[in-house]
Structure 1
Amino acid sequence: MGRPKQFDPETAVEQAMQVFWRHGYAGTTPQCLVDTLGIGKGSLYNAFGGKRQLFDLALRRYLDAHAAAMDALLEEPGPVKERLRKTLHLLAETDLADPDRRGCLAMNTAMEFGHSDAPLTAMTRGMLDRTDRALQALVEEGQRAGEITRARDAKDLAALLLNTVTGLRVMARIESGPERIRRAIDTTVDLL
């Protein structure tokens, strides 16, 4: 009979996500992971298969949580433009309030790996596609309600909004304050 696990795998994935988020994939060593998780290298490899497999689990956890939070914000009651503005401001404020300025783990992963890793590209693209669909649904709702112009296709406006979301997540990593990001958000929403 094997020894019982001395750690909770879900907690370990959460802790690993925080390490990868702070240091990136390349900047995270297996030793850093075992030190943070409080487990031996053997346990890391036995439980997760290795650094890459743990990164995949951590990124999936982040993507699922991010998508659920974004969906909840966009589906709140109220005028469409105000829900959108509130969501974008909350994303920016959250990123700016992070003392480590980690930004978005998905965007960080996309920038670190680009197209060099097909599975990671597929995961991050999947999140962007899901966000795009949610934004398109919101734009369509706003167009039906007369809040958002019908002069542009909802798909095109969703692409603009997705670009705004990804851009603000990157900008928040380096901006010294919220002013420029707030202006970009408000101008984008007002142009709809």
Structure 2
Amino acid sequence: MKLYYSPGACSLASHIVAREAGIEIELEKVDFSSKRTRGEIDFLTINPKGNVPVLELDDGSFLTEGPAIMQFLADLKPEHDLVPRNGTMARYRLQEWLGFINSDLHTSYTPLFNPATPEPIRSKKQEVLFKYYALLERTLTPQQWLLGDQFSVADAYLFTITNWARHVGLDLSWLPAITAFQQRVAGRPQVREALLAEGLLRI
């Protein structure tokens, strides 16, 4: 299988999940500005939506959207317990977190990456993000991971999105549980491998 990614983008979460699950994947870097892959393929022919991640399956078909890709990869290796079993309330709780991170947290960051975003909108989005992180702080204060004691694909996604804070000037240092969470995830060997592979970590 091949993962189309851009360093540090939301595709990092799928990359982390693949490594946590022990799944060997080929990495194909995508240049967002040119919409071309490292192999000089027009990325829009692979994903007309123009977004990473995209997972190319062994049969040549493509799977898009990070939450779907992460669950697919984790289900291939259930022994790693990266997702609860299908049909259980715990699985729906996982999907609840994935939905929140994807539709609320993730999208709130998007305008902050655009230098042309007017300051009033930028300030509003920062306020919204602080509200969301206060909720996450309450969740993570009594437990290590979003689902409790077990690291899951939702934690990989939250870690990836929260890494964007420093790039957009969002100060989260006042949130000790979030700070500790980011450090815990960053210290996992497979996460370090993913960060190194994407050129996001220096050793």
TMscore range, shorter length: 0.3 to 0.5
Greater per-residue strand proportion: 2
Greater per-residue helix proportion: 1
**Between Structure 1 and Structure 2, whose CA radius of gyration is higher?**
1
TM-score, reference length from structure 1 = 0.34
TM-score, reference length from structure 2 = 0.32
